[in-house]
């Protein structure tokens, strides 16, 4: 996975896209590349479909980057994980209604995930799993908690899958392509990796946000380590990305896929 991160990560979005497509071609992975306008912008989602019979379970990761950022951790780590997920589904001949989507324009308005839902139709989507920023840290965060319960009800998740000491559930997500699905009332979860020392601060911020209270200044002043790895932070480099957290997320997603009942 780390080799693919290094191959794809680039400040130029066109080079990122080309490199990702090259990997898919080299692995004989069939895909659809969209080029459709939403709002004021064209989006180029990359879609890998495994079964067209029934409502889809979408597993997505955005491949675009914030201008000036190499976007290795945010979010070629997620992209590299999903490439391995695709290989696994192909190798194991898993016949479930899963669609892997590499989304464009997560970092900007007119998100590719919004365009995807409009084109596919929300009535054709069972649920969504979003993977973002998974190459730095030791703790997987999964949320939102109310959506996790919905995933239990749909038999996509079960409690044993999340019952690991390096997985923590959270009440509110940071906000990524999962929000597009949330806005359409489509069950969704967001998967991300952070350093353990960031987790307590994240939970405190979430609690204050839910209560509608002002976040104390000392919490605002606390620098979250993972934030330095994204959006042109001082560690927004290839050097900080590690294979170990990516493997943890990959194994989590594979557990989910094996648990999914055929719809």
pLDDT in tens, 172-202: 988 899 999 999 999 999 999 999 999 999 9
Angle between the N-to-C axes of helices 243-259 and 77-92, in degrees from 0 to 180, rounded to the nearest 10 = 40
Tell me the DSSP string of 171-188. Answer: SS---STHHHHHHTT--E
- The confidence score (pLDDT) of residue 178 equals 97
CATH number (domain holding residue 165): 3.40.630.10
| Confidence band, pLDDT 50/70/90 cuts, at residue 225 | very high
pLDDT at res. 47: 98
Model confidence pLDDT, tens digit, residues 137-168:
999 999 999 999 999 999 999 999 999 999 99
Structural domains of the chain, count? 1
pLDDT top residue among 249 and 218: 249
Average pLDDT over residues 208-212: 91
Give the CA radius of gyration of the chain. 17
Q: Which of 77, 82, 9 is nearest to 245 (CA)?
A: 77
pTM of structure: 0.96
The answer to whether residues 129 and 188 touch, using CB atoms and an 8 Å cutoff, is: yes
Backbone dihedral region of 105: left (phi > 0), alpha (psi from -120 to 50 degrees) or beta?
Answer: left
Please give the pLDDT value at position 166.
Answer: 98
| pLDDT tens digits along 4-48 | 999 999 999 999 999 999 999 999 999 999 999 888 999 999 999
Mean pLDDT of 214-236: 94
Per the structure, the complete domain to which residue 40 belongs is given by 2-259
Query: What string of DSSP letters covers 115-138?
Result: HHHHHH-GGGEEEEEEE---SS-S
Q: List, in order, residues 6 or more apart from 204 with CB less than 8 Å away.
A: 219
| Count of alpha carbons within 13 angstroms of residue 261, beta-carbon side | 8
- Number of CB atoms found within 10 A of residue 55's CB: 17
* pLDDT score for 262: 54
Q: Which tens digits make up the pLDDT trace of 47-95?
A: 999 987 889 999 999 999 999 999 999 999 999 999 999 999 999 999 9
């Amino acid at each position: 996975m780390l080799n693919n991160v290094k191959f794809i990560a680039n400040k130029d979005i066109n080079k990122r896209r080309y490199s990702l497509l090259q990997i898919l071609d080299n692995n004989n992975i069939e895909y659809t590349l969209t080029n459709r306008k939403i709002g004021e912008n064209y989006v180029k989602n990359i879609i890998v479909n495994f079964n067209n019979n029934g409502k889809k379970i979408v597993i997505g990761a955005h491949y675009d980057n914030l201008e000036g950022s190499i976007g290795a951790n945010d979010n070629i780590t997620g992209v590299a994980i999903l490439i391995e997920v695709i290989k696994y589904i192909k190798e194991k001949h898993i016949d479930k209604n899963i669609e892997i989507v590499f989304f464009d324009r997560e970092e900007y308005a007119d998100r590719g995930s919004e365009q995807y839902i409009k084109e596919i139709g929300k009535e054709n989507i069972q649920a969504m799993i979003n993977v973002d920023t998974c190459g730095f840290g030791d703790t997987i965060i999964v949320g939102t908690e109310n959506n996790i319960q919905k995933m239990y009800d749909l038999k996509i998740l079960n409690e044993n899958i999340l019952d690991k000491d390096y997985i923590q559930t959270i009440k509110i997500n940071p906000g990524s392509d999962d929000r597009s699905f949330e806005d359409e009332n489509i069950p969704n979860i967001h998967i991300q990796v952070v350093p353990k020392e960031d987790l307590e601060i994240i939970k405190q911020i979430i609690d204050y946000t839910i209560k509608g209270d002002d976040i104390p200044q000392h919490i605002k002043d606390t620098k979250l380590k993972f934030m330095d790895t994204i959006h042109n932070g001082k560690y927004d480099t290839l050097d900080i990305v590690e294979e170990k957290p990516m493997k943890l997320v990959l194994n989590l997603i594979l557990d989910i896929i094996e648990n999914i009942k055929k719809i």
